[in-house]
């Protein structure tokens, strides 16, 4: 340790030296009218997420109801949206706090887009992506996630299944591919913030 409190092998982080591509420059953070073309976000995935389109090829689905029912989700809820078959671009009518009864199982070809609203997944279960692909999760606050005992959960289409206990991770990716987690705020999760299992 040096007198400044830094380890003697400490090196400053390198700055980004690559040029910004035209695609990156035209992406949503630089576009004042992003709300008019929300799906442009899918063209902005960098690095390993490149090519992930989420629900770009699907309809818009607006979440209007923060109430969660794990076994029988009602239309207008986040759980109802993420368990539909086919691609969907999911947005929120306004700011809301969602307390998940059980882990939220997200199916393939979905975008959860919380831009323009303050959306919290709070004081309940977290989000699970298991053996699914092509998902974008953007702009959520995921905090105070707790372990759950498991139970009957709708996990896609018309299927409901008995799930075991969850550990209290904010987000779990299990055997998932082409997943882009972007601009998430995670804290106070009982087990871990993001758990990735091959």
Domains and CATH numbers, the chain: 47-197 (2.160.20.10)
The pLDDT of residue 61 is above 90: yes
Check residues 24 and 185 and name the one with the higher pLDDT: 185
The pLDDT of residue 18 is above 80: no
Using alpha carbons, select from 168, 170, 106, 164 the residue that is nearest to residue 143. Answer: 170
The pLDDT of residue 21 is above 60: no
pLDDT tens across 93-102, in order? 999 999 999 9
pLDDT tens across 127-180, in order? 999 999 999 999 999 999 999 999 999 988 888 889 999 999 999 999 999 999
pTM for this entry: 0.86
């Amino acid at each position: 340790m040096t007198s400044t409190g830094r380890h003697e092998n400490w090196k400053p982080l390198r700055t980004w030296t690559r040029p910004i591509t035209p695609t990156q420059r035209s992406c949503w953070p630089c576009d004042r009218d992003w709300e008019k073309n929300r799906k442009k976000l899918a063209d902005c995935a960098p690095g390993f997420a490149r090519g992930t389109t989420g629900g770009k090829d699907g309809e818009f689905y607006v979440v209007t109801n923060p109430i969660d029912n794990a076994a029988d989700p009602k239309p207008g809820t986040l759980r109802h949206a993420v368990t539909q078959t086919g691609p969907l671009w999911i947005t929120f009518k306004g700011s809301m706090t969602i307390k998940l009864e059980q882990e939220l199982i997200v199916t393939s070809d979905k975008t959860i887009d919380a831009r323009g609203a303050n959306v919290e997944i709070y004081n309940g279960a977290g989000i699970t992506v298991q053996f699914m692909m092509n998902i974008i999760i953007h702009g959520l606050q995921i905090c105070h996630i707790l372990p759950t005992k498991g139970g009957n959960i709708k996990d896609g289409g018309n299927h409901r299944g008995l799930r075991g206990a969850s550990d209290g991770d904010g987000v779990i990716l299990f055997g998932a591919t082409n997943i882009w987690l972007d601009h998430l705020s995670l804290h106070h999760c009982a087990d871990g913030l993001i758990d990735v299992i091959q």
